[in-house]
Amino acid sequence: MSVLRAAPLGCGAYLPERVVENAAFAQRLDTSDEWIVARTGIRRRHFAAEGELTSDLAIAAARRALADAGIEGSAVDAIILATSTPDHTFPSTATKVQHALGAGGFAFDIQAVCAGFVFALATADALIRGGQARTVLVIGAETFSRILDWEDRGTCVLFGDGAGALVLTATFGDGGPQDRGVLATCLHSEGAHRDILHVDGGPSSTQTTGKLRMMGREVFKHAVHKLAEVAEETMAKADVRPEDIDWVVPHQANIRIIESTAKRAGVAMEKVIVTVEDHGNTSAASIPLALSRAVGDGRIRRGDLLLMEAIGGGLAWGGAILRW
């Protein structure tokens, strides 16, 4: 059987230059490096410079992904950019990236907060398998520093800025789990839990951008449960078992959530890519940032089986199985 698959061609990432260590927060808030490391695993994060926009990070990451894939921007016929911190309310940040790269086709943003990259990946896979696009650039890019309340110690220490990108292209496979490319995706959301992680502003409600608000403990409880469930569901859909997984590339919100999900999914921590220590939570950018680091340092190799999973505001969550 010959089936269309969305196979990876290359990836890349970009982090703003400015690095802020936990100690910087302890100087002006009632917090400490010890608390942040013990409760989250985060030690430092990158913040965009003044005037450095989500599109700037996205374009830099995309250029690196195109170089890694060995193709020009003109070879891309769709760009899907996952972000909750777009440059403007509209047009989409993706169209700015499209123009900068000299890409044709079409471009649009996806907003599923921290699960954005998995939602974008699933959409790219559907576009490729449906014959709508041949080569798709999937980007996660965020400047969460713009929506943080710097007086709220419960949230401002958790997030960082960055971008990561992945090029997918149509390839024929056999239809089995040995194929390269996206093998399965599972998406979920539950709007009943909108309030536990939200931004308190927007164009239609307050005509302001607003600030991030989170009931951390509540989100944590949903995260460990729902991520374990979706990991299992996605592996079953791809017809693979935990022992087949070479690498888990999870959303990087909290090391305790990452460890708990790996354990419940039956995958050892040695097989989990962890960047939360250096990046903090970069929302939609965290998975492609982690992916790029592990591909770049040689851990992830052609043919490896990857499990990705993420959860964020909405609540929205999902999983993906991809053979590199």
From the list 65-73, 130-138, 152-160, 198-206, the region that binds ligand UT7 by CB under 6 A is 152-160
254 is annotated as an active-site residue:
no
Please, where are the H alpha helices in the chain?
A: 22-26, 33-40, 54-69, 93-101, 116-129, 153-156, 216-238, 255-265, 276-279, 286-296
201 binds ligand UT7 (CB under 6 A): no
Q: How far is CA 278 from CA 43, 63, 233, in A?
A: 6, 22, 30
Token pair belonging to 229: 């469930």
| Interface segment toward ligand UT7; rule CB under 6 A; list 82-90, 95-103, 121-129, 249-257 | 249-257
Query: Which of 9, 12, 40, 316 touches ligand UT7 by CB under 6 A?
Result: 40
Q: How far apart are the first and last CA of the chain?
A: 21
111 binds ligand UT7 (CB under 6 A): no
Residue from 59, 101, 219, 321 touching ligand UT7 (CB under 6 A): that is 219
Q: Which stretch binds ligand UT7 (CB under 6 A): 137-145, 213-221, 224-232, 240-248?
A: 213-221
How many Å apart are CA 113 and CA 177, to the nearest integer?
A: 29
- Of 294, 295, 248, 255, nearest to 271 (Cα)? 248
Query: How far does Cα 25 stand from its chain's mean position?
Result: 25
Interface residues for ligand UT7 in 78-97 (CB under 6 A)?
none
d(CA 117, CA 239): 22
**Cβ distance 48 to 109 under 8 Å?**
no
Which entry of 11, 22, 114, 186 is annotated as an active-site residue? 114
- Choose the binding region for ligand UT7 from 7-15, 116-124, 176-184, 252-260 (rule: CB under 6 A): 252-260
- Nearest residue (CB) to ligand UT7, 95 versus 254: 254
Q: How many CB atoms lie within 10 A of CB 304?
A: 17
Select from 91, 102, 154, 175 the one that contacts ligand UT7 (CB under 6 A).
154
User: Is 251 an annotated catalytic residue?
Assistant: yes
Chain positions 7 to 36 lying near ligand UT7, rule: CB under 6 A, are 31, 35-36
Catalytic-residue membership of 281: yes
Closest CA to 216 of 313, 298, 285, 129: 313
Q: How many residues bind ligand UT7 (CB under 6 A)?
A: 20
Catalytic residues: 114, 251, 281
Interface residues toward ligand UT7, by CB under 6 A: 31, 35-36, 39-40, 114, 153-154, 157, 216-217, 219-220, 223, 253-254, 257, 281, 311-312
